[in-house]
Each structure stands twice: as C-alpha cells, then as structure tokens.
Amino acid sequence: KNEVEQSPQNLTAQEGEFITINCSYSVGISALHWLQQHPGGGIVSLFMLSSGKKKHGRLIATINIQEKHSSLHITASHPRDSAVYICAAHSQGGSEKLVFGKGTKLTVNP
Amino acid sequence: EPEVTQTPSHQVTQMGQEVILRCVPISNHLYFYWYRQILGQKVEFLVSFYNNEISEKSEIFDDQFSVERPDGSNFTLKIRSTKLEDSAMYFCASSEAGYEQYFGPGTRLTVT
C-alpha cells in the first residue's frame, strides 16, 4: 500500500519568500502530481512528473525517484499563492488511481 | 481552455435518499474518475471508468455506489441510499491517456 506523506502540514511565509513543500512516498510510483486546492475547494493540477524537474512560472517541481521524494518550490511568493498544495502519486503497475497526501496549507502574508 | 464541469455545486439531501452527481469531462478524454474528500481529510479515490466499464474501484465504492456514462458527454455518480458519512466534497476528473488528470470544481454533498 502506498503512503504519501507531506511536510510541513502548515506553512506561513512573508510575501517574496522562497517556499518549499516536500512529499515522500513509500513504494515505487509511475508518476506524481502536484495539485492546488483553493479555499472554495476546487482542485487545479499544477504538475505531473515522473523524473527530473518541471517549471511553470514561479513554480518548480522536482522528483527523485531513487529517494522516493518530490518537492514543490515557489519563488517570490505572493498572497495569491495561499492555498492547500497536495501531492498525489500513481502507483507502479498501471494503476490509474491517485493516492493523495494530506496537503500543505500555505499562507503568504503581505 | 477545456475544463471538467460538475453539477450541482452543492446538494443537500436527507439520509436514505438517492442522489446523482453529474460531471461533464473534457470532450476528447477517455478515462474518468470520482474522488471524495470528507471535510478536513485527504482526498480519496473512489472509482475509475474506461471503455464503458469500471476499471478500478476502492473499498469505499461499495454496492451503494454506481457510475454511468449515460450519453457521450455526462459521467454520473449515484449513491443509492445516502448516509450521514457520505457527506463530503465529490470530485470528478478526466484524463486523455490515463495519467495526467484534470479535476472538476467539485460537488459538496450534505446529508442530513
């Protein structure tokens, strides 16, 4: 059974700070998603990655398959980045289902 | 940009009633999913659907639940006899090739 753990659970930052959210998983995976959940509850997919690094604007996601670890970085954070960030993993073996972490609640203060 | 839509945004129902949650996936997607999130908890997988049949389901997805693609656009989740513990946010997602998934805005189900 794949367990997905995130840290920290809560994160408060000042506008402009560099943010890192971590995700680790217990079994081999085929791909990992980073998702953003807004206060109203909607979920937006930020990245899907299976190796290396991806960048979109101020967001960077990295994954280390050997260490079973992924990180989401936000550069020059802004109050509009305040949300819950969730990592979710596809297990190896062709399973389509996602196993979710509990999420990291990020608050960026002006 | 194409998006997944869900209706209704909020559904209130009495215990024991049947509810149908509706989703319109992105039009060229072939894989469809339902997830739920009980308030304050992590998102959980319910079921995946491909080629007009269930491809995978979780232990949560018991006989009370069913899914259907009644036409070329809608994907529905039916709960036959709702219980208080079914109160949650239900998310539909779709995928073109079975990996990158796009989520709908969710339906908040409240069972009283």
3-class SS letters over chain B: CCCCEEECCEEEECCCCCEEEEEECCCCCCEEEEEEECCCCCCEEEEEEECCEEEEECCCCCCCEEEECCCCCCEEEEECCCCHHHCEEEEEEEECCCCCCEECCCEEEEEC
Is the pLDDT score of A91 beyond 80? no
- Predicted pLDDT of residue B109: 98
- Predicted pLDDT of residue B64: 95
Is the pLDDT score of A47 beyond 80? yes
Mean pLDDT on B71-87: 94
Chains A, B: CB contacts under 8 A, how many?
58
Is the pLDDT score of A95 beyond 80? no
A3 vs A14, higher pLDDT? A14
Indicate yes or no: CB of B105 within 8 angstroms of CB of A102: no
Q: How far is A31 from chain B (nearest CA, A)?
A: 8
Task: With beta carbons under 8 A apart, name residues in chain B contacting A31.
Answer: 99
Mean pLDDT on A25-47: 88
Of the candidates A44, A48, A99, the beta carbon closest to that of B100 is on A48
- Predicted pLDDT of residue A94: 66
Is the pLDDT score of B104 beyond 80? yes
> Which residues make Cβ contacts (< 8 Å) with residue A34, sequence separation at least 6?
A23, A45, A46, A47, A61, A70, A72, A85, A86, A87
Q: How far is A105 from chain B (nearest CA, A)?
A: 12
Question: Distance between CA atoms of B4 and B19, rounded to whole angstroms?
Answer: 20
Q: A6 to chain B: nearest residue by CA? A: B42
- Predicted pLDDT of residue A39: 83
Is the pLDDT score of A72 beyond 70? yes
Is the pLDDT score of B23 beyond 70? yes
Is the pLDDT score of B98 beyond 80? no
Indicate yes or no: CB of A45 within 8 angstroms of CB of B101: yes
Q: Exposed (0-12), middle (13-18) or buried (19+): which is B104, by Cβ within 10 Å?
A: buried
Q: Which region among A43-52, A100-109, B79-88, B93-102 has the lowest average model confidence (pLDDT)? A: B93-102
Is the pLDDT score of A28 beyond 80? no
Mean pLDDT on A30-51: 90
Mean pLDDT on A91-106: 85
Question: Distance between CA atoms of A53 and A55, rounded to whole angstroms?
Answer: 7
- Predicted pLDDT of residue A106: 97
- Strand-pairing partners, residue B17, are none
Mean pLDDT on B86-103: 91
Question: Distance between CA atoms of B68 and B78, rounded to whole angstroms?
Answer: 8
Q: A102 to chain B: nearest residue by CA? A: B42
Preceding omega of A8 cis (within 30 degrees of 0): yes
